[in-house]
Structure 1
Amino acid sequence: MSSQDRFQVKKVAVLGAGVMGAQIAAHLVNLKVPVLLFDLPAKEGPKNAIVLKAIEGLKKLKPAPLGVVEDAALIVPANYEENLDWLRDCDLVIEAIAERMDWKTALYEKIAPFIREGAIVASNTSGLSITALSSALPQSVKPRFCGIHFFNPPRYMALVELINTPTTEPKVLDDLETFVTSTLGKGVIRANDTPNFIANRIGIAGILATMHEAEAFGLTYDVVDDLTGKKLGRASSGTFRTADVVGLDTMAHVIKTLQDNLGEGKDTDPFVDPFAPTYGTPPVLARLLEAKQLGQKTGAGFYKKQGRDILRLDPESMEYVVGGAKSNDVVGRMLKKPAAERLKLLRNAEGAEPRFLWAIFRDQFHYAAIHLEAIAETARDIDFAMRWGFGAKQGPFELWQEAGWLQVANWIKEDIDAGKALCNAPLPDWVFNGPVADAGGVHTPQGSWSAASKSFIAKRDLPVYARQFFPENVLGSQAASFETAGNTQFEDDAIRLWTLDGDNSDVLIASIKTKMHAISPDVAEGLARGVELAEKSFKGLMIWSNHDLFSVGADLQAMLPGFVMGGVAVIDGAEAELQQTMLKLRYAAVPVVSAIRGLALGGGCEIAVYSAKRVAAMESYIGLVEVGVGLVPGAGGLTYIARRAAENAAASTAKDLLPFLTEGFSAAAMAKVGTGALDSRKLGYLLDSDVVVANKDELLFVALNQARSMFDAGYRAPHKRLFPVAGRSGLATIKGQLVNMRDGGFISAHDFHIASLIAGVVCGGDVDAGSLVSEEYVMTLERWAFCALLENPKTQARIMGMMSTGKPVRN
């Protein structure tokens, strides 16, 4: 493909500076995509006042839409009166104004003359007809128009639905899918142009069914949320709390789309929707909407916060009462059983709670099977939609298949025949007869079931997916697992050293296997072995695991028995070995690349900073957090801070080392964790030369190529150099500030003690300012501070508290 044929997005225009539009613009800026944010001209003051207010609001939103708040300044404000001509420079135009068909089509008529040839135009809508919207566009633009549905908040939610029209060119969707997947880091599904598309169609129907069944079984909102949250592998907020967070008005709007398009006489499906009677607005929701109690945004909805207490709504009295009730422990034990046994137990149980759970499973299975042909190309799209859009660990078809396809299908049929289901429409014939029944489900190694084409269809084979070696997949696909793929060079209970097959076998991969990827002595030994093996036979060593977890740091539980048996001398020896491992990573003859995804804390952060390069997924949370258990970083983290301060000072004209040390000291002393890769870079745990990857499934591909290219470019390890430290004068300055914090009540006496020890290490101990020291010298100070704290009763209390409750102890 020539460069002229490749769709390149050099600039994006987002139309509409509301909640979604502004956050889409923020996500584009996070990923270095230049963006214009348009809205109406203000009636008073600066013309761009509406957009400027929205950009300012991004700085205060939680969860933060911006990787670093200063990047808000990179969003260029614009308005429809003065700046429409700027659209001519944009390769992609995303319309994200309010969900009004007439407003959207009027805007399209206004912008159409300014859209450049070849640019894609997409509407971010949660359910309006994309085909109907396209009617307002000229014939020249229609082939380049489609729907693009981001989920809120756009930075964090993985799902993006793309929706075509009868006139959309296939290449437009392929190009947009490639951009959204690789540049924006999203999971893309193609949805048919039906009301609410896939995720909201299945998800909102599921919420309505849950509300119906909760009322039928007489369960309170807090019990339902406890049952339908983490216990089901879904978002911890459950059902009613999620509705409050999303906004009851937003939920009502999505329900109304179903009512307006799928009610009696309004059906837009190729067949009558038998569930249409269930789309009525629940009476309690109608009353809350009437009272303007819209959930979290108004302070009250199904729940209300009063002081520190969370009250729940009593639907009978419409008053708020004490909440916090939990489900029966017996049900919790049922939910831990294998899928087939779990569903059988729930269906046959006597209590309201388990029968309620069976009912909502049955309703979702029934609904998904009935609507698969109309709304989605394959069953895989529905399962991915529920995973990526609603936070489910499994989609409905995956659970159904895991539990035994025909057995569950017969249970559903029995309930339908007995009048227990939400509607009396029978399951489609393909459920019981033909390829799906023969295969034992809708997902197979050949592909997932398409009810429309009556065949199994493989995943879309776009070139961008060649960058994903172990992509997220559905149960039943029998996709390769990284735990067993490739060629194992060495493996024990702590680590696997292995390579990919074929052309990618020239870089050694180290995958940590311990719980939470904690760093035990065996892990350290395995990493050292990996360095030796890579130096001998490979172009590099890459540290990577296909989980949302790089490493949580040192294995405290493995450490304590040695401490009890042999005292601090045992720990000193173990820490010395771990420090030596870090130095082996840093001075390896081949490049060591840390491919970071999720948490890299404590020792995980230290592995990363001692690597030659870091490749981090966008949502990587990196930091030295040992203070939380009353310790200091002991595997070279403080030594890294001291060395980096000296290197940064040497690259500037300043002579005072202390200003370059302050940020690193503060990050370690306050256990700061970067809230994403961009913030981690700001804290110094990632460098400007490190690579941030938008799509977590591309991390292995990018890191592998980084290691190979570094080797091919003639990589040499850095020289071992002495570096200057701030010394006793720097320590005195920092301790003076710590005294003020202690005396002002901002930190405890033990916090002061720990921070003072950290300061002592990063300043190089009791030496003159500017003294030249080695890494090994500072590591000795670090190890001494670590071991001294381990013998301190207050630190021991913090460690035991963290191990027993998982929460930090302040003492």
Structure 2
Amino acid sequence: MAEIKKVAVIGSGVMGGAIAAHVANAGIPVVLLDVAAKEGDRSAIAKGAIDRLLKTDPAPFMHNKNARLITPGNLDDDLNLLADVDWIVEAIVERLDIKHALYEKLEKARKPGSIVSSNTSTIPLDKLVEGRSAEFQRDFVITHFFNPPRYMRLLELVVGKKTSPDVAKTIEKFCDVNLGKGVVHCHDTPGFIANRIGTFWIQQAINSAMDLGLTVEEADAVSGRPMGIPKTGVFGLVDLVGLDLMPHISASLLSTLPPKDAYRDIARDVPLFKKLIESGYTGRKGKGGFYRLDRTGGAKTKQTLDLVSGEYRNEQRAQLTALDASKAGGLKGLVTSDDKGGKFAWAVLSATLSYAADLVPEIADTVHDLDEGMRLGYAWKRGPFELIDELGTGWFADKLKAEGKPIPKMLAVANGRPFYRVENGKLQQLLPSGDYADIKRPDGVLLLADIKRASKPVAKNASAQLWDIGDGVLCLEFRSKMNSMDADIMAMIQRAIGTIGDGKSGPYKALVVYNEGDNFSVGANLGLALFALNLAMYPQVEEMVSGGQQTYKAMKYAPFPTVVAPFGMALGGGCEIVLHASAVQAHAELYIGLVEVGVGLIPGWGGCKEMIVRHQQNKKRPGGPMPAVGKAFEIISTATVSRSAAQAQEYLFLRDSDGITMNRDRLLADAKARALELSKDYKPPVAPEIRLPGPTAKAAFKLAVDGFVASGKATAYDQVVSDALGDILSGGNTDITEIKTEDDITALERAAFMKLVRNDGTVARIETMLETGKPLRN
């Protein structure tokens, strides 16, 4: 199997540029070519695309320095740059004649054996390679990325009749391991998987909302979280994608779908939508869409479109019985509610799930492929067959039959059996043949969900569990709400330390801290903290702070290695456990930071101490005592959060030696491998000697914050919290001649923390965060 060391992207538009950026995120050099500009710099179009990418939000680059890996050029002068490229991605306009003309050029310029792929989702592969040589057809595939490529995990892979198996394997491995994609094999059919089902779902939801008289807010409230679909719901999603894009997707599908495809029966032209597009109301990228912000009089009022009158009005909260029924009875409660919300939910799901159940094996081989496509491409919590299983295949079929609707093919195959089952600890799926087969994970993928199906925890309590993940490695899993840190998690860390012991004489030799939630950890459990504060249970609060400090310190200096594997948000206490790890194996999408100042607190579980040490030991910092503590003060006082694991290394939340995994499904396996490697001759770290500048630094911090308060960039209570933070980072009444221990710094943390929790300003910040999810600027 060949190795991909350099990539070229042809076409620097929205998709092409973003694909190039994401390849650069993987540390791979990229050539980005577009048509030559008619005047001035002939490569200006590709260069302009790079400039645009650096300003785009959400950021296509995981770190701006990755832009240096992209070499811009043009198709007239720079085809020679393809001579050493291993993979060429075509991402140009969806016109077959223009693609064919490009491929003719590529065939002459590319090196023998280089892979060529198209990002198309509308043109069949057979049509794309018409007239090309046997060698070109052997090396050609479709790689359909989803927008934005950095954040959307799905990559639909289509191979041709003449595509080399080695080419398919090379692309699949690279997109999986290097780009972090969930690669799903699709058949060469219109829209592949996600857009085929997703477009049907959107159209059916819009039709049903209008037919049943739902408002935009009501339709999105029902079609969002209650169905396990992103909170945008259907109208919010169309605003995000672009209302003007929908007619093009529909027209493309209608031009290629089979004559009796169910989408043809529901496709509609809505005059209101056409009017919106013509008026520039194309969604978030335009003047608004189904939602808009009214800025009249300087205020920002969120408004929604009235689907009947076509006029905007202030947004209204959805009040539907179906939403309450969903909370009590789950998905079945939602679709059986007899109000218009329930009728809407059933109309959407019955049609969409039936459509999906008729598409296997037409568009892909298995139900799991379709579920993966919708989870990774449209961010559904559960795919269509998982949703049917939640309702019950027998129940779903009976309800369709009672309404005189046809039973789709795979539902008939199920005949009352589930699409997924666990057999001998293995997750299995129902095949079109009627047999069940194990779901096979790619090599190098280890999922905690699979381990949990096949075993029982070594230990558990209300907020955490310990799992044996093989080869002498234990995994500590958080399972509290939002993986918030509490006393039970601290107790389980201590339990793990005791269970592993010296890491040599027992069955276990290392610990991995990992879970498969939406986020690694959002920090300490603020609800419990507020409860204690309202009852003035200050000794219990101080015990919680002290207990966390002692637990993290015990983990840091344990005689065995602990590898923490964070992903998503790792905030506050979730960041602090990362800072105390022997090593970190982070997912590339890591949003980590010490954000306690937002709730009127300071990092109290050793976070301040660890940031002092890291900045003092940073070889890149300027000399002297002030730059290190000044940088730590800046990062903590502004609640700085990284926007990627690469940026987390810049802020020293991660060390240069810490690993980064691109594919979320590979994170646990990579963390386990790191733990096993460390365990071979592991020795705990040597305690640092800390020297701090004392009152001089405290005065400098206060002067800086006073300036921010005076200019309106910081509030009066920010000054109070910053003063407490300054007490810690300056070292208190000390100077650089005195050596401080870690315990000295954590004692300062405790004192500052307990001073702040007795302040009404901190209580108000905690209350506001719990009530609104937003910080109070008091």
In the alignment, the residues of structure 2 paired with residue 202 and residue 779 of structure 1 have an alpha-carbon distance, to the nearest angstrom, of 54
The count of corresponding residues between Structure 1 and Structure 2 is: 767
SS in 2 for 1:772: coil
1:551 to 521, 524, 534: 521
Partner letter of residue 699 of structure 2?
A
Distance 2:422 2:129 in 1: 36
1:681-720 matched pairs, under 5 angstroms = 681-712=649-680, 714-720=681-687
- How far off is 1:788 after superposition? 0.5
CA separation in 1, counterparts of 2:481 and 2:307?
A: 44
- Provide the rounded CA distance (Å) in 1 between the counterparts of 2:319 and 2:526: 34
Q: Secondary structure at the match of 1:394?
A: coil
Amino acid at match of 1:726: P
Q: 2:709 aligned with 1:742, yes or no?
A: yes
When residues 519 and 365 of structure 1 are mapped into structure 2, their CA distance, relative to the original with a 3 A threshold, is closer
| Residue aligned with 1:239, SS | helix
CA offset at residue 353 of structure 1? 2.6
Is the 8 Å Cα contact of residues 727 and 767 (structure 1) preserved in structure 2? yes
- Report SS of the residue matched to 1:717: coil
| CA deviation profile, 1:171-221 (whole Å, cap 9, x unmatched) | 322222222122111112111111111111111011111222222212232
What is the Cα deviation at residue 315 of structure 1?
A: 4.7
Residue 493 of structure 1, CA deviation: 2.4
Q: Following TM superposition, by how much is the alpha carbon of 1:765 offset from its aligned partner in structure 2, in angstroms? A: 1.4
Question: Partners of 1:326 and 1:345 in 2: how far apart?
Answer: 22
The question of 1:408 aligning with 2:378 is answered: no
CA 521–213 in structure 1, closer or farther in 2 if over 3 Å, else same: closer
Which stretch shifts more, 714-723 or 665-674? 714-723
Contact 1:436 1:442 in 2 (8 A): no
Q: What is the rounded CA distance, in whole Å, between the counterparts of 1:564 and 1:272 in structure 2?
A: 65
Equivalent in the alignment of 2:486: 520
Preserved contact between residue 335 and residue 342 of structure 1 (Cα < 8 Å): yes
Query: 1:183 — aligned with what?
Result: 178
In structure 1, what residue type is equivalent to 2:688? R
The equivalent of 1:646 in structure 2 is 616
1:590 aligns with 2:549: no
How far, CA to CA, are the matches of 1:414 and 1:569 in structure 2?
Answer: 63
Q: Cα gap change, 1:565/1:363 in structure 2, threshold over 3 Å: closer, same or farther?
A: closer
Task: State how 1:100-179 maps to structure 2 within 5 Å.
Answer: 100-179=95-174
Q: For 2:31, which of 36, 39, 54 is the aligned residue?
A: 36
- Structure 2: gaps of 5 or more residues: none
Name 2:624's counterpart in structure 1: 656
Partner residue of 1:96? 91
Asked if 1:759 is matched to 2:726, the reply is yes
Say whether 1:667 aligns with 2:611: no
2:88 aligned counterpart, secondary structure: strand
SS in 1 for 2:446: coil
Partner of 2:281: 293
Q: Does the aligned pair in 1 maintain the 2:321–2:341 contact within 8 Å?
A: no
Q: CA deviation at 1:743?
A: 1.6
The alpha carbon displacement at 1:631 in A equals 0.7
Q: Distance in 1 between the 2:244 and 2:335 partners?
A: 37
CA shift in 2, pair 1:197/1:485, >3 Å? same
Code of the residue aligned with 2:107 in structure 1: it is: A
Map Cα deviations across residues 333-365 of structure 1 (whole Å, 9 max, x no partner): 22234457426624xx2x333212211111112
Q: Relative to structure 1, is the Cα distance of residues 506 and 671 closer, same or farther in structure 2, using a 3 angstrom cutoff?
A: same
Cα distance in 2 for residues equivalent to 1:592 and 1:457: 36
Q: How far 1:781 moved relative to its partner?
A: 1.0
Taking the aligned partners of 1:218 and 1:77, their CA distance within structure 2 comes to 51
Q: Which whole-Å deviations, capped at 9, do the CAs of 1:675-706 have from their partners, x for residues lacking one?
A: 22122222210111111111111111111111
Q: Equivalent residue for 1:355?
A: 343
Seen in structure 2, the aligned counterparts of structure 1 residues 368 and 87 have a Cα distance that, compared at 3 Å, is same
Whichever residue aligns with residue 518 of structure 1, its letter is: S
Q: 1:553–1:600: 8 Å Cα contact kept in structure 2?
A: yes
Percent of aligned pairs with the same amino acid: 33
Q: Does the 8 Å CA contact 1:373/1:450 hold for their aligned counterparts?
A: no
| 2:615 and 2:652 in contact (8 A); partners too | no
Contact 1:600 1:620 in 2 (8 A): yes
**1:366 equivalent in alignment to 2:347:** no
Change (3 A) 1:427 1:685: same
Report how far residue 782 of structure 1 moved. Answer: 1.1
Is the CA contact 1:146–1:168 (under 8 Å) kept in the aligned structure 2? Answer: yes
Q: Which amino acid aligns with 1:313?
A: L
- Per-residue deviation, residues 454-503 of structure 1 (Å, max 9, x unmatched): 65555466xxx1322217xxxxxxx7353x65464333223323312xxx
Inter-partner Cα distance in structure 1 for 2:555 and 2:614? 17
Say whether the 8 Å CA contact 1:366–1:412 is kept in structure 2.
Answer: no
Look up the match of 2:744. 777
SS in 2 for 1:93: strand
Specify the code of the residue in structure 2 equivalent to 1:788.
K
| Equivalent in the alignment of 1:422 | none
Match of 1:448 in 2: 429
Q: Which residue of 1 aligns with 2:82?
A: 87
Q: Which of 496, 499, 502 matches 2:465?
A: 496
Contact 2:33 2:74 in 1 (8 A): yes
Q: Measure the CA separation in 2 of the matches of 1:59 and 1:687.
A: 25
| 1:629 aligned to which of 588, 594, 599 | 599
**2:509 alignment counterpart:** 539
Q: Which amino acid aligns with 1:104?
A: K
Counterpart of 1:334, as a letter, is A
Residues 247 and 294, structure 1, Cα contact 8 Å, conserved in 2: yes
Residue matched to 1:721:
688
- How much does 1:725 deviate? 1.6
Within 2, Cα distance between the matches of 1:43 and 1:287?
35
> Taking structure 2 as the reference length, what is the TM-score of the superposition?
0.93
Q: Give 1:703's aligned amino acid.
A: A
Please say if 1:469 is aligned against 2:446.
yes
* Deviation larger for 521-530 or 751-760: 521-530
**SS, match of residue 138 in structure 2:** helix
2:264 pairs with 1:283? no
Q: 1:207 aligns with which of 196, 202, 211?
A: 202
Q: What pairs up with 1:377-396 in 2 under 5 angstroms? A: 377-396=365-384
**Residues 744 and 405 of structure 1, relative CA distance in 2, 3 Å threshold:** same
Letter in 2 for 1:403: L
| Distance change (3 Å), C-alpha of 1:637 and 1:330 | same
Once the two structures are TM-superposed, the CA of residue 54 in structure 1 deviates from its matched residue by 0.7
**What residue identity is the alignment partner of 1:327?**
A
Tell me, what secondary structure is at the counterpart of 2:686? coil
* Aligned equivalents of 2:621, 2:602: Cα separation in 1: 31
Q: Which amino acid aligns with 1:437?
A: N
Q: CA deviation at 1:120?
A: 1.6
Partner residue, 2:548: 578
CA distance in 2, matches of 1:787, 1:344: 50
The structural deviation recorded for 1:574 is 3.0
Counterpart for residue 475 of structure 1: none
From the superposition, tell whether residues 238 and 741 of structure 1 become closer, same or farther in structure 2 (CA, over 3 Å): same
The AA in structure 2 aligned to 1:541 is L
Q: Letter of the aligned partner of 2:400 in structure 1?
A: I
Any idea what SS the aligned residue of 1:541 has? strand
Look up the equivalent residue of 1:311 and give its one-letter code. Q
The residue type paired with residue 693 of structure 1 is T
Q: What's the counterpart of residue 423 of structure 1?
A: none
Contact 1:258 1:279 in 2 (8 A): no
1:223 aligned partner: 218
CA contact (8 A) 1:729 1:769 kept: no
Alpha-carbon distance in 2 for matches of 1:761, 1:203: 53
Specify whether residues 373 and 769 from structure 1 end up closer, same or farther in structure 2 by C-alpha distance, changes over 3 A only. same
